[in-house]
Amino acid sequence: MDLKEILNELLMEDKTFLRIPVGSGTLEIYKSVVLTWVVMLVLFILMLILTRDFKVHNISKRQAAVESFVLWIRGVTGGMLGEEAMGYADYIATVLIFIAFSNMVGLFGVVPATMDLNVTIALSIMSIILVEAAGFKKKGLRNWLKGFAQPMAVIAPMNVLELLIRPLSLCMRLFGNILGATVIMELIKAVAPVIVPAMFSLYFDIFDGAIQAYVFVFLTSLYIKEAVE
């Protein structure tokens, strides 16, 4: 039936966008990476436009909105991170905005960047490196190594394994949610093309995308908080 074709097309397509011959082989750049570039560009232009002409007193409404937005995001991420890890709030806020934007690109009919396993793996690798680096910087080398044997020495293998399992679960959660949302949206669009997708897209694209971004960031900051204390 049509559905199988659609699924095949969606999932099995060749994801390369650019092929750049480099040396002996070809450098392939996937669509998701290009989409990430586009999202970065859009965010950058947005930031430039919104933060132009900042004054100290007698501020315009736009500036007040931007300032309150920054303070709100810092409040959210700072609350999740706790007192000691406040320095990481900026990075966490950036990741939150990026993932939320990437997930909502599905509104425009484009395959979201996070539907590619590579992007989610990259995000989770960065998260786990950040968590371990935070623990390392706070505790020093010996205490960090000793932390693996907490609370009992028998649990040490499990703790080391958790180093692998946490990023895996983060990445698979994000990937799976966005994959499921996109597949179901495609199926709905194939079945009832006119009004119904709009309503469902409200849940799948916007709500689900935002929640998954928030959950990703929440879990990362929870791990950071745990590692720093």
Partner 1 sequence: MDLTAIGAAIAAFTGLGAGLGIGIATAKATDAVARQPEADGKIMKLLLLGCALAEATAIYGFVVAIMIIIFK
Partner 2 sequence: MLNVDWIQIGLTIFNLLFLYLLAKKFLFGRVDAILMQRREEVDSATKAADAAKQEAFETKKEYEEKIAHVDEEKEQILGDIKKQGYAEYERIVNDARKKGDQIIVEAKHNAEVENERAKEVYAAQLTDMVIDAASKIAATKHSAADDKELYDKFINEAGAKNE
| Cα separation, 181 vs 102, whole angstroms | 13
**Binding residues among 41-100 for partner 1 as defined by CB under 8 A:** none
* Nearby residues of 178 by Cβ (< 8 Å), 6 or more positions away: 103, 106, 112, 114, 115, 209, 212
Q: How far apart are CA 50 and CA 16, in angstroms?
A: 34
CB proximity list for 4: less than 8 A, separation 6 or greater: none
User: Is 51 a binder of partner 2 (CB under 8 A)?
Assistant: yes
Number of residues interacting with partner 2: please give it, by CB under 8 A: 41
The yes or no reply on residue 11 touching partner 2 (CB under 8 A) is yes
Query: In angstroms, what is the minimal distance from the CB of 194 to partner 1?
Result: 27
Shortest reach from residue 63's CB to partner 2, in Å: 8
Q: Are 10 and 115 in contact (CB under 8 A)?
A: no
Binding-site string for partner 2 from residue 19 to residue 48, where x marks contact by CB under 8 A and - marks none: --------xxxx-xx--xx--x--xx--xx
Residue 140 — φ and ψ, nearest 5°? 85, 165
Q: Contact with partner 1 (CB under 8 A): which of 173, 188, 189, 200? A: 173
CA–CA gap between residue 133 and residue 85 (Å, rounded):
12
Of 10 and 122, which CB lies nearer to partner 1 in the complex structure? 10
User: Minimal distance in Å, beta carbon 116 to partner 1?
Assistant: 14
Binding site for partner 1 (CB under 8 A): 7-8, 11-12, 169, 172-173, 175-177, 179-180, 183, 211-212, 214-215, 218-219
